[in-house]
A = this chain, B = another copy of it.
């Protein structure tokens, strides 16, 4: 067998429809590299997404894909993981998709703690629909809909995730792809729901949060940072403005959804369940 690299294993033949220079390209590359480094095989990985520019990602990588509805990437992803824990399940989708239309699933899946990885391509804008404010757009930013400037206070997704009880919360930046690769690997290896919010410049519609804008602000969390302290993580996560921390903000051990499905402990995965209609016949007894 010829020597393999991330590209040869995970490359898709589909033409990429993103704009040249889009921050999604380095994210895609880091993702492939992370999967490769972890020794994942395409047929053992599932990426779910919603609708948006980021959400097109499942077409641009050779793994199983479920490109569903706008805002609805998480529900199919967690269900797939529940019925087949053998799959490595990721969600790659946009900030509008994850925090806007999909906000309720974001909130409640933190509580479920299913062992999946949620990568949010956070370009602080609705890219595919041509540039309206997303939940992470800064106050005052002018768009075709927010013609007098955005008036809704932006959401800090990492802060919210930590507050609601996520067991892994990190922030990455498309402009630091090697660092990002490491974060993606850590997120995938984390047992439980892992949120990785990725700062992703949109070169076409977000003229405020550019590569330069981010570069001037992001800094990596140091080795001395204690990612297991909730209080400290809350404080760090709240940092946004002239300085923006990237790295793993918070990580703890916590029972996952699967851990709590105690009645399935010693039985095969649902996808491998053996079942005959007759197996249910005895339930008629209680109807006698």
Which A residues are within 8 Å of any B CB, using their own CB? 100-101, 103-104, 107-108, 111-113, 135, 148, 151-156, 159-160, 162-165, 230-231, 234-235, 238, 257, 260-263
Q: Which residue of B lies closest to A109 (CB)?
A: B152
Q: Of residues A103, A112, A135, A261, which shows the largest number of chain B Cβ atoms within 10 Å of its Cβ? A: A103
Q: Of residues A154, A156, A160, which shows the largest number of chain B Cβ atoms within 10 Å of its Cβ? A: A160
Decide: A234 and B151 in contact? CB cutoff 8 A. no
Given contacts A108-B135, A163-B159, contact A153 B113 (CB under 8 A): yes
Decide: B111 and A103 in contact? CB cutoff 8 A. no
Decide: A163 and B165 in contact? CB cutoff 8 A. no
Q: Which residue of B lies closest to A166 (CB)?
A: B153
Decide: B111 and A152 in contact? CB cutoff 8 A. yes
Measured between beta carbons, the chain B residues less than 8 angstroms from A165 are 153, 156
Measured between beta carbons, the chain B residues less than 8 angstroms from A262 are 148
Measured between beta carbons, the chain B residues less than 8 angstroms from A112 are 152-153
Given contacts A103-B104, A135-B111, contact A234 B152 (CB under 8 A): no
Nearest-Cβ distance from residue A101 to partner chain B, whole angstroms: 8
Decide: B108 and A107 in contact? CB cutoff 8 A. no
Decide: B103 and A257 in contact? CB cutoff 8 A. no
Alpha-carbon gap, A238 to B162, bound state (A): 12
Decide: A263 and B152 in contact? CB cutoff 8 A. no
Measured between beta carbons, the chain B residues less than 8 angstroms from A152 are 108, 111-112
Q: Which residue of B lies closest to A102 (CB)?
A: B104
Decide: A234 and B107 in contact? CB cutoff 8 A. no
Alpha-carbon gap, A261 to B153, bound state (A): 13
Kindly identify which residue among B104, B111, B156, B263 contacts A154, using a CB–CB cutoff of 8 Å. B111
Which are the 6 A-B pairs with shortest beta-carbon distances?
A: A163-B163, A151-B260, A103-B104, A104-B104, A111-B153, A111-B152
Alpha-carbon gap, A23 to B112, bound state (A): 29
